[in-house]
DNA sequence: TACATAATTGAAAGCGCTTTGGATGCCACT
DNA sequence: AGTGGCATCCAAAGCGCTTTCAATTATGTA
């Protein structure tokens, strides 16, 4: 069933039917009723490809998903997607996901943009000096970046959380508790958030004349296994750190296992603060020793970015171009005063 | 830059250029070279919407993602998607994800199909007597179901793992170790896999004249928090179970925390077998007590389903319509002989 | 009653691509 | 020279929708 058939059925022109469907004012209310009724009865749905071709709008936002054999999927991706979806469903938008080899993201993004399948782009996993920014700017298609790109001019639309501030605050809390030997368990080194979190820690320490010790910084994928390994490493250090900053509750999971296995007590022998993306599968408050965290909902960020993206496509008023969300520092039981030597 | 402009630039007809690009044989090799060269220089990309309209093929597979405010995202979804993506990227396919309220999945699936945005559908989160099957059959669009629908005639294309067999085998192992008091920590009750796993457990027990005790079965979202709660409940039972079957390593995470908090030892006081979807963030072998598991890679299933879907769209030979994958039972340290009373 | 104005409706021209159904020219072959 | 076959190429017809421009009818005004 297509427009032509439907309009013949109704004895109307395609024009009028199309207008009735799209809410144009110049069509008689009675006719509109009739059309709507017929749509219900026939189950007619406009062909999106044709609509897309005619209007240039697709009602979709595009994103690339890094993937490859052996490339580990990322919990955070799914959670973020849920946020985007939550908003998209309200506007009858959908996503076009372009899977791409992690080495090929720039090209994949360009392909996606040019494909004509999407109205706007969402970009994540930002890196320092990210090469995608230049490409995006040249594209004349709306986009929003999740995160920022350290080292690039901040003249692009983004939504980020204050990673540096979060880890600065977390570090200060631990300093106030008397800790002096710190370690940072971070995400992959090239990612923007990792860079900023590191800076937050370093600058808080520097204010007290301290620094991260030798071997007290790890960069790894954020899985529990990597958390375990990193923590085991920290615990073997001659000057064992007493305060751990951790980029994810997933990492913390493994880290805490290592602490337990070493016979140490979390919150007493070792203090730990993790960043909490509010993943539904892992609640810091239900850890056996509830975790002190810096918190910011990944999902909420997804919702917000979808709002901005969809709003821009629909020309629904101006949105702030750049948003930096503060994180909350929530103190629970995994942090305590430095143990007496 | 569109086809018309490109062809004018080359002094050829759109027909010839189109053919050159799509590998038709009736175009002179020299001309084809020339065209390809021009494409490189101009950066021309065919408009997908137009291609879609003309051919009826979109190079995409569609899926609906259940989402709503308050609806928890699911780790397994992301992992599965990674598998789909891994295969899709090889064929230059992409996904169209339709977010939908969980109550609205049938309609969302239909919208997606009719939208003309996709060539094939992938369907997951199957339920008993799933209403989507009838709709899919009426659709004349290729699809593959991940899982099955208990209670429906198995006359649809699917890929499933042998959930019943897995939990049957796991239960038998525990029976052989002398356990008699069992509990099952399952996923949401309406989901097909949960039904079959339950059946596997029940039938293995029945062979020994045993059954699940009162209150020894939980159905919940597969998060660590729910695992914790369920296990706490089990441990308070007057006839405390000694053998736990668990539908996910994520649930196991919380469950084990409860075991530890109760001062019990995993693999001694309590034996536990979990189903392992091979999530990269949670490796059963790196639990402090490595987990005995039934294993089947969710990601591999994603890859396979993508193969079938894309193969069908590309008409690349026949695929088996129904696949049932065996799981592996991998014995590690979380299972041991029943403790002496 | 005559004419301007508003309210409805349609015809037809695209959107950018694929593909059908010829053309055209060149060659071998009889 | 005449014919058929082959290799190339092209014009034009869609695919299903939106939208411009124009036509028609209904309404209101002088």
Protein B56 CA to nucleic acid D15 C1', in Å? 8
Q: CA-CA distance, A73 to B175, in Å (whole number)?
A: 36
Nucleotide nearest B17 (Cα, C1'): D9
For nucleotide D13, the protein residue with its alpha carbon nearest to C1' is B54
Question: Residue A90: helix, strand or coil by DSSP?
Answer: helix
Can you tell me the mean pLDDT for A322-328? 97
DSSP letter assigned to residue B266: B
Q: Is 70 exceeded by the pLDDT of residue A16? A: yes
Residues B31-50: pLDDT tens digits? Answer: 999 999 999 999 888 888 89
Protein B12 CA to nucleic acid C21 C1', in Å? 19
Give percent of chain A above pLDDT 70. Answer: 100
Q: CA-CA distance, A90 to A117, in Å (whole number)?
A: 20
Task: State whether the beta carbon of A153 lies below 7 angstroms from any atom of strand C.
Answer: no
DSSP letter assigned to residue B51: H
Q: Is 90 exceeded by the pLDDT of residue A243? A: yes
Nucleotide nearest B4 (Cα, C1'): C16
Nearest CA in chain A to B55: A49
Nearest to A64 by CA among B88, B237, B316: B88
Nearest CA in chain B to A252: B281
Which chain B residues are Cβ-neighbours of A98 within 8 angstroms? 94
Q: Is 90 exceeded by the pLDDT of residue B190? A: yes
Q: How far is B176 from chain A (nearest CA, A)?
A: 30
Where is pLDDT greater, at B341 or A127? A127
Which chain A residues are Cβ-neighbours of B57 within 8 angstroms? none
Protein A13 CA to nucleic acid D19 C1', in Å? 13
Question: Residue B282: helix, strand or coil by DSSP?
Answer: coil
Q: Do B82 and A65 touch (CB under 8 A)?
A: yes
Strand residues in B139-222 grouped as ranges (E): 143-146, 158-161, 182-186, 217-219
Q: Is 80 exceeded by the pLDDT of residue A317? A: no
Question: Residue B283: helix, strand or coil by DSSP?
Answer: coil
| Average pLDDT score over chain A | 92
pLDDT the model gives residue A341? 67
- The partner residue sitting opposite B67, judged by closest CB among A82, A253, A260, is A82
Q: How many helices (H) and strands (E) does chain B have?
A: 12, 12
Nucleotides of C under 7 A from a protein CB: 7-21
| Average pLDDT score over chain B | 92
Confidence of residue B341 (pLDDT cuts 50, 70, 90): low
Q: CA-CA distance, B295 to B166, in Å (whole number)?
A: 8
* Beta carbon pairs, A and B, within 8 Å: 174
Q: Is 80 exceeded by the pLDDT of residue B92? A: no
Q: Which positions ≥6 away from A17 have C-beta within 8 Å? A: A3, A6, A7, A10, A35
Q: How far is A182 from chain B (nearest CA, A)?
A: 25
Confidence of residue A201 (pLDDT cuts 50, 70, 90): very high
Question: Residue A275: helix, strand or coil by DSSP?
Answer: strand
Strand residues in A51-163 grouped as ranges (E): 60-66, 94-100, 120-123, 143-146, 158-161
Residues B241-289: pLDDT tens digits? Answer: 999 999 999 999 999 999 999 999 999 999 999 999 999 888 999 888 9
Nucleotide nearest A55 (Cα, C1'): D18
Q: How far is B50 from chain A (nearest CA, A)?
A: 6
Nucleotide nearest A15 (Cα, C1'): C10
Can you tell me the mean pLDDT for A88-115? 84
Nearest CA in chain B to A94: B98
A54-58, B19-23, B248-252: which has the minimum mean pLDDT?
A54-58
Nucleotide nearest B7 (Cα, C1'): D10
Q: Is 80 exceeded by the pLDDT of residue B237? A: yes
Q: Do B89 and A69 touch (CB under 8 A)?
A: no
Q: Is 90 exceeded by the pLDDT of residue B71? A: no
Task: State whether the beta carbon of A223 lies below 7 angstroms from any atom of strand D.
Answer: no
Residues A139-158: pLDDT tens digits? Answer: 888 999 999 999 999 999 99
Can you tell me the mean pLDDT for A159-185? 98
Task: State whether the beta carbon of A214 lies below 7 angstroms from any atom of strand C.
Answer: no
Which chain B residues are Cβ-neighbours of A223 within 8 angstroms? 280-283
Confidence (pTM): 0.85
> Choosing among A65, A77, A94, which should be mutated to test the B contact, i.e. which has the most B CBs within 10 A?
A94
A137-147 residues labelled b (16+ CB within 10 A) or e (exposed): eeeebbbbbbb
Task: State whether the beta carbon of B89 lies below 7 angstroms from any atom of strand C.
Answer: no
pLDDT the model gives residue B276? 97
Protein A4 CA to nucleic acid D22 C1', in Å? 21
Long-range CB contact pairs, A108-114, < 8 A, 24+? A108/A64, A109/A64, A109/A135, A109/A136, A110/A135, A110/A139, A111/B45, A112/A62, A112/A63, A112/A64, A112/B94, A113/A62, A113/A139, A113/A141, A114/B45
pLDDT the model gives residue A204? 98
Q: Which positions ≥6 away from B82 have C-beta within 8 Å? A: A65, A67, A71, A72, A73, B299, B302
Q: Is 70 exceeded by the pLDDT of residue B199? A: yes
> Choosing among A72, A74, A87, A89, which should be mutated to test the B contact, i.e. which has the most B CBs within 10 A?
A89
Task: State whether the beta carbon of A27 lies below 7 angstroms from any atom of strand C.
Answer: yes
Q: Is 80 exceeded by the pLDDT of residue B135? A: yes
Q: Do A48 and B116 touch (CB under 8 A)?
A: yes
């Amino acid at each position: 069933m297509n427009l032509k058939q439907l309009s013949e059925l109704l004895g109307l022109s395609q024009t009028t039917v199309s207008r009735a469907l799209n809410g144009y004012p110049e069509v008689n209310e009675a006719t509109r009723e009739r059309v709507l009724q017929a749509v219900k009865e026939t189950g007619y749905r406009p062909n999106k490809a044709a609509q897309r071709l005619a209007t240039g709008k697709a009602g979709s936002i595009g994103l690339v998903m890094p993937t490859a054999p052996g490339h580990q999927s990322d919990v955070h991706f799914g959670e973020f997607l849920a946020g985007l979806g939550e908003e998209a469903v309200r506007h009858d938008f959908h996503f076009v996901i372009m899977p791409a080899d992690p080495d090929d993201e720039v090209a994949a993004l360009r392909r996606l943009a040019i494909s004509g399948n999407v109205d706007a782009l969402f970009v994540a996993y930002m890196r320092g000096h990210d090469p995608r920014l230049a490409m995006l700017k040249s594209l004349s298609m709306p986009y929003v970046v999740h995160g920022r790109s350290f080292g690039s001019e901040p003249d692009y639309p983004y939504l980020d959380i204050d990673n540096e501030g979060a880890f600065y605050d977390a570090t200060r809390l631990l300093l106030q508790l008397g800790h002096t030997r710190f370690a940072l368990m971070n995400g992959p080194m090239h990612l923007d958030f990792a860079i900023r979190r590191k800076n937050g820690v370093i600058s808080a320490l520097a204010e007290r004349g301290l620094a991260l010790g030798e071997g007290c910084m790890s960069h790894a994928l954020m899985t529990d296994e990597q958390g375990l390994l990193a923590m085991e490493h920290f615990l073997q250090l001659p000057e064992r750190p007493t305060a751990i900053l951790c980029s994810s509750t997933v990492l913390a999971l493994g880290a805490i296992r290592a602490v337990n296995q070493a016979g140490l007590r979390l919150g007493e022998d070792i203090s730990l603060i993790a960043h909490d993306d509010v993943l539904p599968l892992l609640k810091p408050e239900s850890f056996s020793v509830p975790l002190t965290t810096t918190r910011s909902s990944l999902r909420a960020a997804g919702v917000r970015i979808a709002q901005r993206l969809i709003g821009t496509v629909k020309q629904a008023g101006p949105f702030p171009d750049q948003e930096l969300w503060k994180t909350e520092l929530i103190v629970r039981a995994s942090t305590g005063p430095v143990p007496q030597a």
